[in-house]
Amino acid sequence: MYNIGKNENFESRSKKQLETLKSKSEFAKKCPVVEVKIKFPKSTTLTIQVPVKSLVKNIRRNIQTILVDELSLDDWHLVEFPIRRKIRDEKTLLEEDIMFKSILHFTFTGILFPHHTF
């Protein structure tokens, strides 16, 4: 009655995830370093080149060293625009799909949709 297992167009979710991981891994071997621009308020931009397998937490710690002492690591985060996705500290740039030249925005914690322009 049903032709189970004979559909040639069927792709499992795990197979797609495995293919995605494989392509990311191949890309990381070809281009191990990514250029990231961090946009701060008042049109200030910091351009860094970091390994694509760097933890976001480590990148944020390095940025923290140039900020004023009154601003702690918990007071800000990095956001990808235009989708306004917060970049997670426990992930690598590769895991966050930041593999090419990227622009991230410095945003204060608690501000989900900032009203000022970057």
What residues does 108 pair with on adjacent strands? 76
Query: pLDDT: is 115 or 94 the higher one?
Result: 94
Would strands 102-108 and 85-86 be described as parallel, antiparallel, or unpaired?
unpaired
pLDDT for 24-81, tens place per residue? 677 667 778 999 999 999 899 999 999 999 999 999 999 999 999 999 999 999 999 8
Instruction: Give the three-state DSSP class for 98.
Output: coil
Q: How would CATH label the architecture of 32-108?
A: Roll (3.10)
**CA of residue 12 relative to chain centroid, distance:** 26
User: Hey, where are the domains in the chain?
Assistant: 32-108
C-alpha to C-alpha distance for 41 and 115, rounded to whole angstroms: 11
**Per-residue pLDDT at 5:** 58
| Partners of residue 77 on adjacent β-strands | 107
